[in-house]
Amino acid sequence: MYSLHDRLIKHREHGNRVMVEFLIGQENVLRDLPRGKSNEVSSKDHMKLYQHSVRCTVAMQIFLDANQQYWRFVPMTIEESERPEQRSVQGISFTDELTWNLRQMEDCTIYVESVPKASTGYTFSNRQIGLQLSYFNKKRDKDLPNQNIDLYNATIVAVLPETCSEMLRITVESLFITHAETNLNTIGNILNKNSTGNNHLMNNPWLIRGDEWYQGLLRRPQSKSTT
């Protein structure tokens, strides 16, 4: 049985993982997983909690503030992309050496082409595309994002009569801490059993993206990093 602390750590891990996969694209994730995702990971992908996070500008802003290297995967307006600093790819480094920790540029082009496309009125600038190439060239997709970022504010609420004693309140709190099965977000989902008996939501979480998730995001001043 997981403690509340352990459960929240798992939520952080999956929440941040789903953010990355949403930004770089499922094709790029599955390309390196010939056997596909495990049942556990796939079931997390279908949870409403994580599906909501990637389309929530507040959660996305928190994630990007802590992991600025992923701004290259966030579309910008066409007007923004025409600015001189966004048209320039100066300083972005690539290499086509045959080493275990680098991808060949031919493969990197395939990865960049598989990054989810921007909606009408938005695009990736020349600089963003160059940074995406550098990202895949150096296999940055193998690096984990900051796993300690809280994308959710978790609260447990217990409703007690106004006349209950302080001792009862302390007892209930202690029971939550020591005995509660903290199955957060595993109850109440609208599920559909498929032919294999696994529970999945009726919709594919990666098909419907929309553009509301990047509208209104505040691009913080970033370092000159070209990695």
Alpha helices in 54-165 (DSSP H): 57-66, 78-81, 84-87, 105-113, 126-137
* Whole-number pLDDT of residue 50: 82
* Whole-number pLDDT of residue 181: 52
Secondary structure (H, E, C), 166-214:
HHHHHHHHHHHHHHCCCCCCCCCCCCEECCCCCEECCCCCCCCCCCCCC
For the chain, helix, strand, coil in percent to 5 are 45, 5, 50
What's the predicted TM-score (pTM) here?
0.77
The position carrying tokens 């940055």 is: 140
Average pLDDT of the segment spanning 120-127: 93
Give yes or no for a contact between 61 and 216, defined as CB atoms under 8 angstroms apart: no
Give yes or no for a contact between 19 and 54, defined as CB atoms under 8 angstroms apart: yes
Highest mean pLDDT among 61-65, 171-175, 202-206: 61-65
HSE-CB of 124 using CA atoms within 13 angstroms = 22
Give yes or no for a contact between 68 and 42, defined as CB atoms under 8 angstroms apart: no
Q: How confident is the model at residue 43 (pLDDT cuts 50, 70, 90)?
A: confident
Residues 131-141: pLDDT tens digits?
A: 999 999 999 99
Phi-psi region of 189 (alpha: psi -120 to 50; beta: other; left: phi over 0): beta
Give the percent of the chain with pLDDT over 90.
34
Give yes or no for a contact between 137 and 105, defined as CB atoms under 8 angstroms apart: yes
Length of the chain in residues, anyone?
227
* Whole-number pLDDT of residue 110: 96
Highest mean pLDDT among 14-23, 92-101, 180-189: 14-23
Mean pLDDT rounded to a whole number for the chain: 80
Domain ranges of the chain: 4-78+143-153+183-200
Distances (CA, A) of 170 to 2, 22, 159, 163, 191: 22, 42, 13, 14, 36
